[in-house]
Amino acid sequence: MNNGRDGLNFSVPQDYSPDFIQHMIDMTADGEMPLTKYIWLHPDANLTDEQRAQLIAGIEATFNYTAGSTEMDMEMEPQATPEP
């Protein structure tokens, strides 16, 4: 989990490109996330279509992003990093 957090950590504000945000949305919409091997270990992580739509809406809202746009206004407030 720590390795994944090093690559993608929403607790630390970062500038993600519109292409990266769209990639997250596409992978979620296509059912590629969460990863199959993660779902094997955590069956409750398997998302329904409704949960997938909610997650995508959350990604768009978090990054003030509209699918297909080339600009976004990201103003994430710093969050406390959870203790391990």
pLDDT tens digits, one per residue of 71-80: 544 444 444 5
Residue type, 79: Q
Q: What per-residue confidence (pLDDT) applies to 8?
A: 75
- Greater confidence (25 vs 69) lies with 25
pLDDT digits (tens, 9 = 90+) for 4-62: 667 677 777 678 889 999 999 999 999 998 899 999 999 999 999 999 999 999 999 98
Give the residue among 67, 76, 57, 60 at the shortest CA–CA distance from 15. Answer: 76
Token pair in block for residue 35: 């990863």
Give the residue among 71, 67, 55, 77 at the shortest CA–CA distance from 23. Answer: 67
**Model confidence, pTM:** 0.69
Token pair in block for residue 61: 């809202």
Token pair in block for residue 49: 């279509």
